[in-house]
Amino acid sequence: MSDKDSYYIDLEDEVVRGSIILHNGKLLWPPPPPKEIPVVATPKEETKLAKAPPKELLPAYYFRVTLKTVNK
């Protein structure tokens, strides 16, 4: 992890704390529950992508038609 003989383990970081089982002979497992993540409200208006008209679908035989035109 480093060139030095020692390194720092940040036990305040919840990712690091969740991966450490023993530290200096003390059992740290199970980790504390994760902190609450605030829920962000989604916009109620439809996006421009949702309002776009659907694309035309290719006919079911499209592959056969293009395969024949490539061989010619």
Residue 13 lies in a domain: yes
**Residue 65 maps to a domain:** no
pLDDT for 20-56, tens place per residue?
Answer: 999 989 999 898 888 887 777 776 665 555 666 667 7
Residue 30 lies in a domain: yes
Residue 56 belongs to some domain of the structure: no
pLDDT at 38: 78
- Reduce the DSSP state of residue 63 to 3 states and report it: helix
Structural domain contains residue 51: no
Number of domains in the chain: 1
Residue 8 has pLDDT above 80, yes or no: yes
Q: Residue 41: what pLDDT?
A: 72
DSSP-assigned beta bridge partners for residue 22: 27
* CA distance linking residue 31 with residue 20, whole number of Å: 8
Q: Which long-range contacts (CB under 8 A, 24 or more apart) does 27-35 make?
A: none
From CA 28, how far away is CA 20, in angstroms rounded? 7
Q: What is the pLDDT of residue 39?
A: 77
Domain hosting residue 5, numbered range = 1-34
Tokens of 49: 């992508």
Number of residues written out for the chain = 72
